[in-house]
Homo-oligomer: A and B are copies of this chain.
Amino acid sequence: MTELPPVSVEALEARIAALFVRCGVRAKSAASVARVIAAGERDACKSHGVYRVEGCLRVIAAGKVVPDAVPRVHDGGGAVIEVDAGGGFANPAFDAGADLLAGRARELGLAALVIRDCLHFSALWSDVEAMAAQGCAAISMCPSYAVVAPAGGTTPLLGTNPFAFGWPRPGPHPYVFDFATSVAARGEIELHRRAGKPIPEGWAVDAEGRPTTDPDAALAGAMLPFGAHKGSAISTMIELLAGAMLGEFMSREALDFGGGAGLLPRHGALVLAFDPARFAARSGRDPLAEGERLLDAIAGQGARLPSERRFAARAVSLREGIALTEAEDARLGRYERLGLAGLES
């Protein structure tokens, strides 16, 4: 894996955005999608970095995404703001509603952003970081493809259903966690498969419900929820709140609609935003200063805060740039020259 000379985050972002435009994506949407992919690479979060470009192009080639969809905002004036992604990618829809969501949270104390009918592939930490940058605590969740068996079951029914939380901090970075409610993220299994490496025990069962360390068998079988029945319950909550409640696909329906887990799933997403200043107002306390007492104490006993590794990688990337491997660069180059025809079958 020879690395090329590093480029700036902005340069990588612009390169990816141009590539998407070349493949028929509306410019503003291409910018939104490129931003989260470059951010994944910047944070050394490889499972959500340039590796994701191919997945985006494949849904375009398959005609399963509307690349020129314009997100439409529906705001009934209550605490729920809806953005219809119109079958486009989730990121431009989030960007179309983010400021409105933060503003409504400041006005009412809390508010929800509902994204309808989107193609989803990005890590949720970008959503909650954007909210934290506006001073809001946030929870983000969505279904995915039914590839996880519920605790006590044997057949895939739940998605890997990510759950993310952000909390604003006075320093440069918020408190952020973002995890799959499966033991591992599907992207991690996919990366093991590409690398030809076995997955750890306890991540998955095969199509017959037997434990397996073979990534292919795992992808054909069922992944397991984290934390046994508790993680399974949280994943079920995500199906209900970010699927059934919105009237959008749950993970089973997304899988049936997609005809398999090979392409990005189509479903909805839910982001909740809270204004701590508003919640704390009558207490006379500073909620962010209170939060610091806890977070400092966690770090003080040597326990790592979530996202620390990501923020450390970000600092390096912002200072030194991002170095793609020759293989990654060649792949992007092929898409740049050939557009969707650059996809290997």
Contacts and interface: CB of A to CB of B under 8 A. Distances in A.
Interface of A: 74, 76, 78-80, 82, 107-112, 114, 116, 137, 139, 149-155, 157, 165, 167, 175, 177, 179, 181, 226-234, 236-237, 239-241, 243-248, 250, 252, 272, 274, 276, 278-285, 287-288, 290-291, 293-295, 297-298, 301-304, 306
A278 B80 contact: yes
Given A80-B278, A177-B233, A177-B236, 10 more contacts: A79-B108, A109-B112, A175-B236, A226-B230, A236-B294, A241-B274, A245-B291, A247-B283, A250-B290, A272-B272
**Majority secondary structure of chain A interface residues (helix, strand, loop or mixed):** mixed
B298 A150 contact: yes
B80 A108 contact: yes
A294 B250 contact: yes
A245 B137 contact: yes
Contact of A80 (B110, B228, B241): B110
Contacts of A150: 298, 301, 303
Contact of A247 (B80, B282, B302): B282
A79 to B, nearest CB: 4
B231 A230 contact: yes
B230 A302 contact: no
B240 A231 contact: no
